Amino acid sequence: MKTYLVTGGAGFIGSNYIHYMFKKYGDTIHIINVDCLTYAGNLENLKDIEDKENYTFIKADICDGERMIQIFEENDIDRVVHFAAESHVDRSIKNPDVFVKTNVLGTLNMLNAAKNAWELPDGTFKEGKKFLHVSTDEVYGSLTEDGGYFYETTPYAPHSPYSASKASSDMLVKAYMDTYHFPANITNCSNNYGPYQFPEKLIPLIINNALHGKKLPVYGDGKNVRDWLYVEDHAKGIDMVQEKGRLFETYNIGGHNEKQNIEIIHIILDTLQEMLPEGDPRKALVSEDLITYVEDRKGHDRRYAIAPDKIKAEVGWYPETCFAEGIRKTIKWYFEHEDWMDRITSGDYQKYYEDMYSHR
Ligand code: NAD
Ligand code: DAU
């Protein structure tokens, strides 16, 4: 049985990845989820698998290097999938320090802990051990409206404190691969959307605000472009890279699904109108009149667009869920999980650990 150490598994993509992996591999894998539960960590995302014998949650901070070494000493880890990070660009503009601490120093701790556990006396690494660092397309900077795509060879040019911290973490992983021949991969993915996404990010924020008749804030002219990928396709891509990709390589993950922010907002409004049943009081609240142009994000990157050619050619990955289908699945999920959203907006979700876990 392979043992996975997943960092940040209580967050949006990490929890979707854990669900995906159990669906795919069932009881043939053990997943250890290491998460310190920042505001973005929500154990309710994993409620339906928390009692599985082959799932373990450890509340720990990746900034605590000794604790990370200890976790590796207590468990024979085969795979690391490193999601844990501060992930929201707006927060990084207001408070960069925690981004450097978690994203850069936290990643260094993960690399050191894995190296410490996996390195043999002759400097080679134990057979079959693999580390996957989950990163972002934002490290490549910004494209112009008609300005091509991000390839794995595109030079790094981050602009926000978030993307600069992720770029630094990528550089550390590259340095460990080059210096120690440390067995790793890096994936750089475009914008994800889907179930369990924290409502500070564009898509869940717009869905939630529209359903409550609240303003829909559009930064700048609303024409910034993001390349949207359904989160389960990202989870699948990570697994395929780790199992089929060439070690020491970087793979971009994205689905050629570029859309302007304002287009996304109109699609969400139209889809909500279409999916809400007649007589539902929320139908009257969902309206284009809620769209409100606000001050632009500082240093706002204009366009991101991934060229996924390498992962398609080498690993056979392609996105299965088109945007029209993915956004309907996402909206349906938010309809069916209103209580999940209510507990986030009230802050109650942060009590889940104390209520359900701390006595275990
Ligand atoms: P998220 O903010 O939803 O979740 C982050 C998780 O990490 C949370 O559970 C949080 O509690 C945990 N965490 C934060 N600091 C920690 C620490 N010091 N120790 C332990 N756990 C800690 O993030 P997400 O959107 O799921 O993103 C996950 C990863 O994927 C990040 O590395 C991000 O850079 C990357 N990524 C995200 C996207 C996207 O669109 N969301 C796209 C590409 C790459
Ligand atoms: O590209 C991958 C990245 O995507 C990830 O690395 C990040 O972790 C993730 O947060 C995401 O970053 P973005 O900044 O692109 O996502 P966000 O949802 O914050 O914003 C998407 C776009 O929408 C962006 O152009 C800013 C705009 N926006 C966002 C919010 C929250 C608005 O216009 N209004 C808003 O209220």
Domain 2-357 coded CATH 3.40.50.150 = no
Residue 234 above 80 pLDDT? Answer: yes
Region 9-26: mean pLDDT is: 98
Q: Which atom of ligand 1 is nearest to the CA of 9?
A: 9
Is 357 annotated in the active site?
A: no
Mean pLDDT of the chain: 97
Catalytic residue among 35, 137, 227, 239: 137
The mean pLDDT value for 235-247 works out to 98
What is the residue-wise DSSP string for 209-224? Answer: HHHTT--EEEETTS--
The yes-or-no verdict on residue 78 having pLDDT over 70 is yes
Per-residue confidence at 352, pLDDT binned at 50, 70, 90?
confident
Residue 125 β-bridge partners: 119
Top mutation candidate among 215, 219, 258 for ligand 2, by most atoms within 8 Å of CB: 219
Report the pLDDT value the prediction gives residue 359, as an integer from 0 to 100. 67
Q: Judge whether residue 335 has pLDDT over 70.
A: yes
Nearest CA to ligand 1 atom 15: 85
Single out the catalytic residue among 17, 140, 162, 176.
162
Give the pLDDT band (50/70/90) at residue 177. very high
Residues 63, 67, 70, CA angle at the centre, nearest 5°?
Answer: 145
Which mutation among 88, 156, 168, 202 tests ligand 2's pocket best, with the greatest number of atoms within 8 A of CB? Answer: 202
Q: Is 205 touching ligand 2 by the criterion CB < 6 Å?
A: yes
> How far, in Å, CA of 318 to CA of 221, rounded?
32
Q: How far is the CA of 86 from the centre of ligand 1 (A)?
A: 6
Ligand (nearest to CA of 57) = 1
Confidence at residue 356, expressed as pLDDT on a 0 to 100 scale: 78
pLDDT band at 360 (very low <50, low <70, confident <90, very high): low
- pLDDT for 147 beyond 90: no
Domain boundaries, the chain: 2-357
For the residues 68-92, what does the mean pLDDT come to? Answer: 98
Q: How many whole angstroms separate alpha carbon 4 and alpha carbon 146?
A: 41
* Pocket lining: 93 vs ligand 2, CB cutoff 6 Å: no
Check if the beta carbon of residue 135 is closer than 8 Å to that of residue 187.
yes
> C-alpha dihedral over 20, 23, 28, 32, to 10 degrees?
40
Question: What is the pairing mode between strands 184-189 and 2-7?
Answer: unpaired
- Cα–ligand 2 centroid distance for 222 (angstroms): 12
Strand partners, 5: 32, 80
Residue 255, pLDDT score: 85
Look up 230 and say whether it is catalytic: no
Once rounded to an integer, what is the mean pLDDT over residues 195-200?
A: 98
Nearest to 140 by CA among 308, 299, 310, 306: 306
Please report the pLDDT score of residue 230 as a whole number: 98
Q: Is 162 a catalytic residue?
A: yes
Residues near 281 by Cβ (< 8 Å), separated by ≥ 6?
none
Average pLDDT over residues 253-281: 97
Which pLDDT does position 240 carry in this prediction? Answer: 98
Is 358's pLDDT higher than 80? no
User: Tell me: the pLDDT tens digits for 109-143?
Assistant: 999 999 999 999 999 999 999 999 999 999 999 99
* Three-point CA angle 3, 235, 96, nearest 5°: 95
